[in-house]
């Protein structure tokens, strides 16, 4: 089983959007039983809150249920549980590497690191940019590349 955790600052915009998109893609591919997918925040700012209305609107348009999504902060156990811990921007990755045990460092990746030509780019936070469509497009593109990566790693 491939265990994937998407991480952003508050767990209300980018990471739940990525979680929802990946769940949809693996379901469409008939691979739901082979993946455990979740999302979390590096901060405590939004704990207990549902996804941002802009994220909900995008996901609902894609027929992705957001009713069970609730913001949470990453835990120490997550570094053991998940095989892939994917931060949305360099700041997330730095925070994750700072708090992760030494044994989990290699699990941490930048989301766009798998997308040719965008390997060092950040996924912009629509909480600040208010451009949820741009974030969705980048996440959608990135998910395709991540699925190829996971397929190769099997």
- Active-site residue, from 8, 13, 78, 89: 8
What CA–CA distance (Å, rounded) separates 9 from 16? 11
Which element (helix H / strand E) includes 153? helix 132-153
The answer to whether 8 is a known catalytic residue is yes
Does 72 participate in catalysis according to the annotation?
no
Active-site residue identified among 14, 38, 89, 95: 14
Q: What is the pLDDT of residue 113?
A: 96
pLDDT of amino acid 151: 86
Whether 76 is a known active-site residue: answer: no
What is the mean predicted confidence (pLDDT) over 121-149?
97
What digits encode the pLDDT tens for the residues 21-68?
999 999 999 999 999 999 999 999 999 999 999 999 999 999 999 999
Average pLDDT, the chain: 97
Q: Please state, in angstroms and rounded to a whole number, the distance separating the CA atoms of residues 7 and 37.
A: 11
Structure tokens at 21: 């998109």
The reported pLDDT for the residue numbered 73 is 98
Flag whether pLDDT at 85 surpasses 80: yes
Indicate which CATH number applies to the domain containing 131. 3.40.50.2300
The active-site residue, picked from 13, 95, 125, 133, is 125
Q: Alpha carbon of 36 to those of 1, 21, 30, 39, 101: distances in Å?
A: 7, 13, 13, 10, 21
Q: Pick the closest to residue 135 from 14, 10, 2 (CA basis).
A: 14
- Total domains, the chain: 1
- Amino acid 154: pLDDT: 65
Owning domain of residue 67: 2-153
pTM: 0.97
Over 80: is that where the pLDDT of 91 sits? yes
């Amino acid at each position: 089983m491939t265990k994937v955790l998407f991480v952003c600052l508050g767990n209300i915009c980018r990471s739940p959007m990525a979680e929802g998109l990946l769940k949809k893609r693996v379901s469409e591919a008939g691979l739901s039983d082979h993946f455990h997918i979740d999302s979390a925040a590096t901060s405590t700012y939004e704990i207990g809150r549902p996804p941002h209305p802009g994220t909900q609107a995008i996901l609902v348009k894609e027929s992705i249920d957001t009713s069970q999504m609730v913001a949470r902060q990453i835990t120490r156990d997550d570094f053991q549980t998940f095989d892939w811990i994917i931060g949305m921007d360099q700041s997330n990755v730095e925070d994750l590497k700072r708090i992760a045990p030494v044994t989990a460092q290699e699990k941490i990746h930048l989301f766009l690191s798998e997308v040719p030509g965008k390997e060092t780019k950040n996924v912009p936070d629509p909480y600040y940019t208010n451009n949820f469509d741009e974030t969705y497009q980048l996440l959608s593109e990135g998910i395709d590349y991540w699925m190829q990566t996971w397929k190769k790693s099997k």
